[in-house]
A = this chain, B = another copy of it.
Amino acid sequence: MTLGVGDDCALLRVPPGQELAVSIDTLVAGVHFLPDCDPQSLGHKALAVSLSDLAAMGAEPAWATLALTLPADLPRDRPDWLPGFCRGLDGLARAHGVALVGGDTTSGPLALSIQVHGLVPSGQAVRRSGAAPGDLVCVSGTLGDAGLALRGVLAGASVPEPLRRRLDWPQPRVALGLALRGLATAMIDCSDGLAADLGHILAASGASGAGAELDLAALPLSAEVAAIGDWSLPLASGDDYELCFTLPPTQVQALTGLAEAGGVPVTVIGRIEPAPGLRLRRPDGTLHTLGRSGYDHFGA
């Protein structure tokens, strides 16, 4: 960066040989978060969601801009809101070396847009489109935790703190994304649920798309999610912000090192196949059909 907040534009210097990866995301009160949620976790999560997009390209976070819309009476009614929000945002920004270089503050219904800017050596960004038949399908961390926590919150139930943190304080898998440069053939972050997100990789890969078979028994689940016995949690609930990526089978020995570099477990959950479509194999060998919504029992 050569010039930050305080002029008509911020000026960013992209080093030679690097491309700039950019992503913009909006969060609206009442749609993406509860208006009375903890502002500090909101500040964290707003940036985390965007950094997760950079991680999914193998880009190194560098800069962010923030467009914040606040109700006119919020500073008076909730004087702790803005300092809390900034604390949450700033904490994660510092952890990843992200400089806030510009922004816009306006009056209106509570909402915010964050654009993140990351650096990746030219040609080395990991796209969604490179998966090839035979590639291993892998995922980081555990799946379905944020979805289970959200169910509890919406039901007014008490949610155990570790589960609650998975929803409110997601950790973007930046280090893993960087370690996957030159190894992963395709990558995406799990924001909408594994089945939908892997679906994006399949749609983008191959001349006319690709398919995959997942081994349901291999899905990495926390004890809490495993105890529920509902496939829709790991497959169709969002907000986990784990990375889903494909790896040539010749790179299987890299997995241990990747997990260490990323500071998060990495699990092989299936394989890319030439036949289009997503096949979900049960432990008994039969195929599972993902329900459109609602409870999707392990035994069904």
Contacts and interface: CB of A to CB of B under 8 A. Distances in A.
Contacts of A57: 7-9, 11
A100 to B, nearest CB: 11
A22 B9 contact: yes
22 contacts: A3-B127, A7-B57, A7-B129, A8-B54, A8-B56, A9-B54, A11-B19, A11-B20, A11-B57, A16-B16, A22-B65, A24-B113, A26-B69, A26-B106, A26-B108, A27-B106, A28-B69, A31-B106, A32-B106, A69-B111, A111-B111, A113-B113
A64 to B, nearest CB: 10
A177 to B, nearest CB: 10
Interface string A2-24: 11001111111110100111111
A21 B9 contact: yes
A232 to B, nearest CB: 22
A12 B8 contact: no
Contacts of A24: 65-67, 102-104, 113, 115
A7 B197 CA distance: 11
A31 B122 contact: no
Contacts of A29: 108
A168 interface: no
Given A57-B8, A188-B8, A23 B204 contact: no
A132 B2 CA distance: 22
Interface in A123-145: 125, 127-129
Contacts of A30: 108
Give the size range of A's interface with the partner. 35 or more
Interface string A193-213: 000000000001000000000
Contact of A23 (B9, B66, B122): B9
A146 interface: no
A9 B117 CA distance: 9
A111 B122 CA distance: 34
Contacts of A129: 7
A291 interface: no
B19 A2 contact: yes
A69 B25 CA distance: 11
Contact of A31 (B108, B113, B120): B108
Query: Which of A22, A59, A65, A118 has the most B CB atoms < 10 Å from its CB?
Result: A22
Contacts of A31: 106-108
Interface in A161-192: 187-189
